[in-house]
Structure 1
Amino acid sequence: MFDVSFSELMLIGVIALIVIGPERLPKVARTVGHLLGRAQRYVNEVKSDIQKEMDLKEIGDIKHQMEDAARSVQSSMTSSVDELRAAVTQPSQALKDTLDQARQALDTRPASADAPASGAAPAEPAASAPAIPAPAAERSPEPASAPRSAPASTDTSH
């Protein structure tokens, strides 16, 4: 703290011994030691308080930086979600519009051309939907006019 060499301390001690006297010198030295200790503790407390304030300020700065980063990430994620939503909504809306137009076109076709004269329910025109043959697994190997035989029962009760 102070640049005081050993020879300077010896000189101060000799002068204090002469001025104060040998009887009161230990008591004065003890009092000066206590005062210097208190001053040192006070300086250390002030230093630690200043360090705590600096640390709190740094923590506050870091907190603000983290909040700014979180806001930035949130806004970028929100914009990404909005872009993806628009990318999905646009084609689906186009498909809905196309389906609505197709339904309107089917609803507005002339009913008199399709309806039979007897007043029965209109039948589907054969030209609008081509006949799709049934898969081979669904077709029966027997002719349609032949009756099917009932399975033979096995009675094992003797």
Structure 2
Amino acid sequence: MFDIGFSELFIVAIVALMVLGPERLPRAARFTGLWVRRARAQWYSVKSELERELADDELKRSLVRTRDELRDLGAELQNQGRELHDDLRREGQGIEKSVRHAEKSVKDAVAPVTRAATTAAAPALAQEPAEKDNGAIADEAVAQSASAEVEAPNQPAAEPVADAGPPDPRP
């Protein structure tokens, strides 16, 4: 600590013995030892407090770094969530448009058949009793047109699928 060798310490002890004498030397040595112990204790206390402060400071920096990383990850996650939401909305709009187009195609394909069935059913309905109201007449015309088999244009007929049944358990 002070870089004092044995020979230097020996010279200090001889000078102290001559100055203080043999009667006061033990008491002076105890007093000096007490102050050296107090100085060391104080030094270790300051040293440990400084180390704790440095550790706390490092911990604070680590927490700030972690908080910033979490904030960045949260922002990135929100951006990805928005992108996913937008993609799903676009896909939903595309599907909705396809459904509307298919619905329009079906209505366009069924409309001539419905008109023909209604026209064909009109003379037959005129002969029935006049007590039927217009709603019943329309329902009957729709039922007759639904009974007619309609095939969509430019679409091949679906072939029936043979049922394979359960697998044979025998090897």
1:71-90 equivalences in 2 (<5 Å)? 71-90=71-90
1:134/1:99 Cα in 2 relative to 1: closer, same or farther (>3 Å)?
closer
RMSD of aligned residue pairs (Cα, Å): 3.1
1:73-112 equivalences in 2 (<5 Å)? 73-103=73-103, 106=107
Equivalent position amino acid for 1:2 in 2: F
Distance (Å, rounded) in 2 between the aligned partners of 1:14 and 1:136: 117
Which residue in 2 is equivalent to 1:30?
30
* Deviates further, 87-96 or 60-69: 87-96
State the Cα distance separating 1:5 from its structure 2 match. 2.1
1:136-157 C-alpha deviation (Å, 9 max, x unpaired): 97xxxxxxxxxxxxxxxxxxxx
1:29/1:18 Cα in 2 relative to 1: closer, same or farther (>3 Å)?
same
1:55-109 C-alpha deviation (Å, 9 max, x unpaired): 01101111111111122222222222322232232122122133235546739x6
1:65/1:134 Cα in 2 relative to 1: closer, same or farther (>3 Å)?
closer
Which residue in 1 is equivalent to 2:68?
68
Distance (Å, rounded) in 2 between the aligned partners of 1:136 and 1:88: 34
1:6/1:46 Cα in 2 relative to 1: closer, same or farther (>3 Å)?
same
1:15-48 C-alpha deviation (Å, 9 max, x unpaired): 1111111011011101100110111011001000
1:40 aligns with 2:40: yes
Q: Which runs of 5+ in 2 are unaligned?
A: 126-136, 163-171
Per residue, is there more helix in 1 or in 2? 2
Which residue in 2 is equivalent to 1:113?
115
Equivalent position amino acid for 1:113 in 2: R
Distance (Å, rounded) in 1 between the aligned partners of 2:30 and 2:50: 30
Which residue in 1 is equivalent to 2:7?
7
Distance (Å, rounded) in 2 between the aligned partners of 1:66 and 1:6: 53
Q: Which has the higher contact order (CA 8 A, sep 6+)?
A: 2
TM value normalised by structure 1: 0.70
Count how many residue pairs are aligned between Structure 1 and Structure 2: 137
TM value normalised by structure 2: 0.65
* Deviates further, 91-100 or 20-29: 91-100
Q: % of aligned pairs identical?
A: 29
1:101/1:129 Cα in 2 relative to 1: closer, same or farther (>3 Å)?
closer
1:22/1:43 Cα in 2 relative to 1: closer, same or farther (>3 Å)?
same
Distance (Å, rounded) in 2 between the aligned partners of 1:15 and 1:39: 23
